[in-house]
Structure 1
Amino acid sequence: MKTLLLVVAVFAMMFPSFGRTAEFNSSLISVTTRGSGPDLVLIHGLASSSKVWSGIEDHLNTAHRLHFIDINGFAGNKASDARSESYLLAMRDEVVRYMETQGLDEPTLLGHSMGGLVSLLVGSASPESIGRIVVVDSLPFHGLMLDPNATAEKMKPIAEQIEQKILKMNESQFEAQAKRSAAMLTKSDDKAELLLEWSRASDRDVYAQVMREVMAYDGREEIADIECPVTVIYAFDEEMPLSEERLHQFYQDAYAQVDDLGLVQVDDSFHFVMWDQPQAFYARLNEVLD
């Protein structure tokens, strides 16, 4: 599971034809929209950018109105001066508020990594508002990656140590760690370099805090409140320490509280499935959306 142990990424390209929403203002997230059709809300991962979904329109069989969420503090998006006590819960609340403000009708949530966890939290908090959730290589409790018997209480001091280690690194140490992590998250050298750029452009305090929160937050009971179908698209590679059978069971156990669950494996991929195996990833996504 080494591709799941760290979640890093940051910096950005621009789509000049994107339109910023005029009716929604937030100090935590910004949203760009494009296209028309059923609503698809896309949430990126830790220290990442909405540009991780670059080119998605070319891969979808059916046109959608795409809502690309960027989280301030990551990928060169300036962090808010007002820090949240819990970024995860604040992100959840802002996504819910955005959907309500825009009047979205049972949108599909598509979240990668941390964004997958946020999508699950949104689905738990506002179950009647969501049509479907698609989670990409993520869990309701990331502490399970370190210990299959983990609890939030057991993970809290470990997550705090990780946070402090990140904050105490000097620039060269952080750069070296980010470079090692990037190589574990994607098979593409070019994309690994992009992840490194994104890491450099992230606010260190926000990055460290959200890393702590993601590692310690146990949402396994909350996801029982989700009423819509949940599909988990996860990566498998021969370099991983778990066999296909054990990895499938790992996800099955983690999502045991979800009533309508689909698990979809993509082979020969690390954490950024949409980059490592785009054809397979979008084929699976289209099967879910169509």
Structure 2
Amino acid sequence: MLLKTMRLLTVILAFLAPGLAHAAQPTRFTVEVRGKGPDVILIPGLASSRAVWEPTAKALEGRYRLHIVQVNGFAGSPAGANAQGPIVDGMVEELAAYVADNKLDRPAVIGHSMGGFTGLALARRHPESLGRLMVVDAFPFFSILIQAKDAAAAEPVAARTRANFATLSDEDLLKVQTRTMKTLVKNEQGQKDAVAWSMASDRQVVGQVTYEVMTSDLRGELAAITTPVTVLYAKDASMGFVGAIIGGVYKDNYAALKGVKVIEIDNSLHFIMLDQPEAFLGEVETFLK
């Protein structure tokens, strides 16, 4: 009788195991794991490849175990579940599940742009999932950049932006992205890479994520975040008047977040890790200590 029971359990587990393994796999992103040591999750920004973290990863992988995220639909990766939204909320939930399923002990999270916004949402909704957060050049409400007072005011512009990704010809989109990346990356190779990543991205996914980030406002939730947060922001002479006030804008927008560290990286545009890799790595090293 005991032998029959054990055989029955073996059969049941054989059927269950594949389902359990599948359930643990993220559907909105993939993860490349490198190195050994304390866990660090790296999340790229909108339409970016995980390769944006490569210089940082090479410097850290000898001392840290890196979990380098690639958002599905960005930089040539298949859209997968991201063919349907809401994408950012889904990513937040799957990141929390990834941390739990892999038994990561309150990892550090570093996110650039949209990735930083995602990290903020993770810290708000699942504070048990991370030990500290670095936000790289991202606001808790992105649409302050278009002077929207709230998410409702930003919605019409966000909707038009999403539609533009679907309707522009490849030629016109290339022109737009080439022009845009010159305002976001100073590094010449970085500009080329960022354009290539964006052109290889799934337009529906990029448009939807853009819409979601533009119409999401975490400013009212910052006071509830207990995770230690460091914010890096870019400043450059080419920004003109904006560069003169950008530090104050960042400090004002993060003022409700208790204990936040807001740090300027000079002579850099939005892709700080590409424009000022040494300065960026220095801040990362300090953050991880």
TM-score band w.r.t. shorter chain: 0.7 to 0.9
Structure 1 residue ranges without an equivalent (≥5): 1-20
Asked whether the equivalents of residues 84 and 90 of structure 1 are also in contact (C-alpha less than 8 Å), the reply is no
Secondary structure of the structure 2 residue equivalent to 1:69: strand
Post-superposition offset of 1:159: 0.6
> Match for 2:232: what amino acid?
I
| CA distance in 2: counterparts of 1:35 and 1:61, whole angstroms | 4
Corresponding position of 1:108: 108
| CA distance in 1: counterparts of 2:172 and 2:195, whole angstroms | 13
Corresponding position of 1:55: 55
- 1:69-111 Cα offsets, whole Å, 9 max, x none, are 1110001110016633311101111111101111111111100
| CA distance in 2: counterparts of 1:22 and 1:187, whole angstroms | 41
- 1:265 maps to 2:253: no
| CA distance in 2: counterparts of 1:242 and 1:115, whole angstroms | 27
| CA distance in 2: counterparts of 1:207 and 1:42, whole angstroms | 19
Which has the bigger relative contact order, CA under 8 A and spacing at least 6?
1
Asked whether the equivalents of residues 85 and 208 of structure 2 are also in contact (C-alpha less than 8 Å), the reply is no
| CA distance in 2: counterparts of 1:116 and 1:52, whole angstroms | 14
> Match for 1:192: what amino acid?
Q
Number of matched residues?
269
Q: Would the alpha carbon gap of residues 40 and 156 (structure 1) be closer, same or farther in structure 2, given more than 3 Å must change?
A: same
- 1:97 maps to 2:97: yes
| CA distance in 1: counterparts of 2:65 and 2:215, whole angstroms | 34
> Match for 2:278: what amino acid?
Q
Rg larger for: 2
Post-superposition offset of 1:180: 0.7
- 1:154-212 Cα offsets, whole Å, 9 max, x none, are 00111111111222111111111111111111112211111111112100111111111
Q: Indicate the larger mover: 170-179 or 222-231.
A: 222-231
- 1:79 maps to 2:69: no
- 1:156 maps to 2:148: no
Corresponding position of 1:209: 208
Q: Indicate the larger mover: 77-86 or 230-239.
A: 77-86
Identity score, percent? 35
Q: Indicate the larger mover: 78-87 or 136-145.
A: 78-87
| CA distance in 2: counterparts of 1:202 and 1:279, whole angstroms | 28
- 1:139 maps to 2:125: no
Asked whether the equivalents of residues 128 and 227 of structure 1 are also in contact (C-alpha less than 8 Å), the reply is no
Residue correspondence of structure 1 range 1-290 to structure 2 within 5 A? 24-60=24-60, 63-80=63-80, 83-147=83-147, 150-242=149-241, 246-290=245-289
Report the RMSD for the aligned CA atoms in angstroms.
Answer: 1.9
| CA distance in 2: counterparts of 1:143 and 1:25, whole angstroms | 32
Asked whether the equivalents of residues 179 and 196 of structure 1 are also in contact (C-alpha less than 8 Å), the reply is yes
| CA distance in 1: counterparts of 2:61 and 2:205, whole angstroms | 36
Q: TM-score, normalised by structure 2?
A: 0.88
| CA distance in 2: counterparts of 1:46 and 1:210, whole angstroms | 8
Asked whether the equivalents of residues 121 and 223 of structure 1 are also in contact (C-alpha less than 8 Å), the reply is no
Post-superposition offset of 1:235: 0.5
Secondary structure of the structure 2 residue equivalent to 1:218: coil
| CA distance in 1: counterparts of 2:104 and 2:181, whole angstroms | 35
> Match for 1:56: what amino acid?
T
Going by fraction, where is helix more abundant, 1 or 2? 2
Secondary structure of the structure 1 residue equivalent to 2:161: helix
Q: Would the alpha carbon gap of residues 244 and 200 (structure 1) be closer, same or farther in structure 2, given more than 3 Å must change?
A: closer
Q: Would the alpha carbon gap of residues 173 and 57 (structure 1) be closer, same or farther in structure 2, given more than 3 Å must change?
A: closer
Q: Indicate the larger mover: 121-130 or 82-91.
A: 82-91
Q: Would the alpha carbon gap of residues 86 and 59 (structure 1) be closer, same or farther in structure 2, given more than 3 Å must change?
A: same
Post-superposition offset of 1:24: 3.8
Q: Indicate the larger mover: 90-99 or 125-134.
A: 125-134
- 1:243-275 Cα offsets, whole Å, 9 max, x none, are 666222111111122112001111000111011
Structure 2 residue ranges without an equivalent (≥5): 1-20
Q: Would the alpha carbon gap of residues 103 and 242 (structure 1) be closer, same or farther in structure 2, given more than 3 Å must change?
A: farther
> Match for 1:131: what amino acid?
G
